[in-house]
Amino acid sequence: MADFEKYHIQRGHVMRVPEEMNNDFGDGDCYLVDTGPLIYLWCGSRATVDERFIGAVTSVWRDQAREGVARLVTVEARSEPPAFLDLFGGKIYVTDQDTEGILKKVILEKHEFKLFRLNIVGGVHLFIEVPRDRNSLKSDDVYILDTFDKIYIWRGSSSTGHEKFHAMLIARRYDYERAGAQNIVLIEDGEETKEFLQALG
């Protein structure tokens, strides 16, 4: 069990985030991470002024309920202090979507193939959709090509072991959300199959 509670600020509401999604952060959102002694307000780079305001007011309200015992800390995306990252095992996933999209099960039609880039910077895992094109593939990162029936993991020749490992975790999460509807296929840099290149477009 996590030793904190995480809340997502969404459309004027503050919603508890399921524990299995604690490491996921949408770059267009704000979150409250309440540890008791500390209340963190994490703000994505594309969070709106309204979301930041609601987050700030809510954190103050929670602090007042404890008679000012808690300390309030604002955290900007990609500038997370080590103490914050430690709550999540040293790593978080920052995606380019909001948590409304993260929390609901992924429902992807076959014609909506998507390509995502995964790289790790200072303990922050960036998982961002990129154009589905061969030119998007860079050797220092790992990519996930989602075709619904199959999930391809393309592993750049200069990518790290951590990036490769976490790409597999993300692919398995997709598999879990879709009740095992797809196969996971590993593709090494320079060893692209005809099937993979056709799916990439």
Compute the distance between CA of residue 120 and CA of residue 169 in angstroms, rounded to an integer: 14
Residues constituting the chain: 201
5-88 has CATH 3.40.630.30 classification: no
- Burial class from Cβ neighbours inside 10 Å (0-12, 13-18, 19+) for residue 168 reads middle
Inter-residue contact 154 to 130 (CB < 8 Å): no
Compute the distance between CA of residue 57 and CA of residue 185 in angstroms, rounded to an integer: 46
> Domain 114-200 is classified in which CATH homologous superfamily?
Severin (3.40.20.10)
In single-letter form, the type of residue at position 163 comes to E
**Each residue's pLDDT expressed in tens, for the chain with a length of 201 residues:** 578 999 888 765 677 888 888 998 988 889 999 999 999 999 998 887 777 877 787 787 777 667 777 888 999 999 999 999 999 999 999 987 665 544 443 444 445 788 888 887 666 667 777 889 999 999 999 999 988 778 899 999 999 888 888 888 777 766 655 555 568 899 999 999 999 999 988
How is the chain classified by DSSP, letter by letter? --SSEEEEEETTEEEEPPGGGTTEEETT-EEEEE-SSEEEEEE-TT--HHHHHHHHHHHHHHHHHTTT-SEEEEEETT---HHHHHTTTT-EEEESS-HHHHHSPP---TT--EEEEEEEETTEEEEEEE-SSGGG--TTSEEEEE-SSEEEEEE-TT--HHHHHHHHHHHHHHHHHTTS-SEEEEEETT---HHHHHHH-
Inter-residue contact 73 to 41 (CB < 8 Å): yes
User: According to the model, what pLDDT value does residue 108 have?
Assistant: 47
User: According to CATH, where is 3.40.20.10 located in the chain?
Assistant: 5-88, 114-200
Q: What angle do CA 79, 122, 70 make, to 5 degrees?
A: 45
